[in-house]
Amino acid sequence: MTEAIGWISSLILLLTIGKQIYKQWHEGSSEGVSKWLFIGQMAASSGFTLYSVLVRNWVFVFTNGFMVLNGLLGYYITLRHRKREEAAR
């Protein structure tokens, strides 16, 4: 039961963050989204992934590993939108 709670929570978190990144991509705007959000998230998630490997908590290895990927994608989308907006000026 403990593992199920962890995996379900992981799925909810990943879907929630994934939905936000999809929204940015689909709407073509990252207005109000700071690139530092993704930089901080990637730094924290990288640290948590390493920590989770060291304590052998595979739910958190999986979750934080994917959070790093989400952070990279969100950062890329934000930078792409900003460059497009600057070019339009």
Q: In this predicted model, what pLDDT tens digit does every residue of 8-57 receive, in sequence order?
A: 999 999 999 999 899 999 998 888 888 899 999 999 999 999 999 999 99
Domains of the chain by start residue, with CATH:
2-88 (1.20.1280.290)
Q: Is the pLDDT confidence value at 85 over 90? A: no
Q: Spell out the alpha helix ranges (H) of 30-57.
A: 35-54
Q: Are 13 and 57 within 8 A, CB to CB?
A: no
Write down the pLDDT at residue 1: 84
Write down the pLDDT at residue 74: 93
Which pTM was predicted?
A: 0.84
Q: Is the pLDDT confidence value at 69 over 90? A: yes
Confidence of residue 71 (pLDDT cuts 50, 70, 90): very high
Query: In terms of Cα–Cα distance, which of 49, 71, 68, 46 is closest to 60?
Result: 49
